[in-house]
Structure 1
Amino acid sequence: MTKRPLAIATTCALLLGLAACGKSEPAAEGAGHKTANKHINAFDGDAARGEKLAATKLPSGQSCVDCHGTGGLKPIDAATPIIGGQYQDYLFHSLQHYREGKRDHALMTMQIKGAFDAGTLDEQGIADLSAYFAAQSGPLGDLHGK
């Protein structure tokens, strides 16, 4: 037995693996920013698209800004958090967790899961919303230098 067939098989497997991990181009932009096999992370969002999405009525008839206020800075009541200026990855993962049922809130779970199930919010939309709210100059800060 020679080592050549094993080397060829190993090389083919590595090439197939690299091809599978490569980035794919997003599909044409539309209502849900559908993407084909593209991994979206917390920092892939577009704040300008997120601003528009934040004001868009979801299937429930409400938008993000109806409760959190423009820029996420003026919530409708003390029970609604200020999300403007919050960490982008925190917002991204929180929205994912509402969608997946890993985080539960009577209104937010229904809003995010409902929008996702209806096709009006996808992973890119979650990233866009996170980018928009994180880009705001809010009252949140860390304890650096305190």
Structure 2
Amino acid sequence: MKIRFSLVVPLFALAAALPVTTQAADLEAGKEKAAMCAGCHGADGRAANPAWPNLAGQNVDYLKAQLLAFKAGARKNDLMSPMAQALSDEDVENVAAWFSSLSPCK
């Protein structure tokens, strides 16, 4: 029992010391995918029509949550639902990061 415990503790310590790596969003891929959003939300995330939201500078987690809700059908819109359903989960990450990286509207 002591031998197992003496092996387990250093293994946990080693695992805790290892860096956590996460896949960073690809802004360039997000920019390319976001081209399909430009008709309503503007190429720079600033919508020309006040009926559509500005996306530039929005919180990345908020954008991801909204896209995923449209994609899953939890949020419904005749225009947005099919657009979001065409995105992979990676696309959602990238598009959200792209719009979030832009200067917010004033």
Whether TM-score is above 0.5 comes out as yes
- Verify: 1:112 aligned to 2:78, yes or no: no
Output the CA distance in 1 between the equivalents of 2:75 and 2:32. Answer: 25
Q: Any idea what SS the aligned residue of 1:89 has?
A: helix
Asked whether the 8 Å contact 1:71–1:132 carries over to 2, the reply is: no
Extract unaligned runs of 5+ from structure 1: 1-6, 8-38, 56-62, 116-120, 141-146
- Verify: 1:136 aligned to 2:78, yes or no: no
Query: How far has the Cα of 1:70 moved from its partner?
Result: 1.2
Equivalent position of 1:83 in the other structure: 55
Query: How far has the Cα of 1:76 moved from its partner?
Result: 3.4
Query: How far has the Cα of 1:105 moved from its partner?
Result: 1.5
* CA deviations over 1:119-141 (Å, ceiling 9, x no partner): xx21111000001000000126x
Identity of aligned residues (%): 30
Equivalent position of 2:16 in the other structure: none
* CA deviations over 1:2-39 (Å, ceiling 9, x no partner): xxxxx9xxxxxxxxxxxxxxxxxxxxxxxxxxxxxxx9
Extract unaligned runs of 5+ from structure 2: 5-21
Asked whether the 8 Å contact 1:54–1:129 carries over to 2, the reply is: yes
1:95 is aligned with what amino acid? L
Higher helix share: 2
Query: How far has the Cα of 1:110 moved from its partner?
Result: 2.2
The list of structure 1 runs, each at least 4 consecutive aligned residues, that deviate by more than 4 angstroms after superposition, is none
Output the CA distance in 2 between the equivalents of 1:47 and 1:66. Answer: 19
Normalising by structure 1, we get a TM-score of 0.54
* CA deviations over 1:67-96 (Å, ceiling 9, x no partner): 1001211x1311110011000010011101
Output the CA distance in 2 between the equivalents of 1:87 and 1:49. Answer: 18
Output the CA distance in 2 between the equivalents of 1:93 and 1:68. Answer: 17
Tell me how many residue pairs correspond in the alignment.
87
Q: Any idea what SS the aligned residue of 2:44 has?
A: helix
Normalising by structure 2, we get a TM-score of 0.73
Output the CA distance in 1 between the equivalents of 2:74 and 2:42. Answer: 25
Output the CA distance in 1 between the equivalents of 2:50 and 2:57. Answer: 17
Output the CA distance in 2 between the equivalents of 1:109 and 1:66. Answer: 15
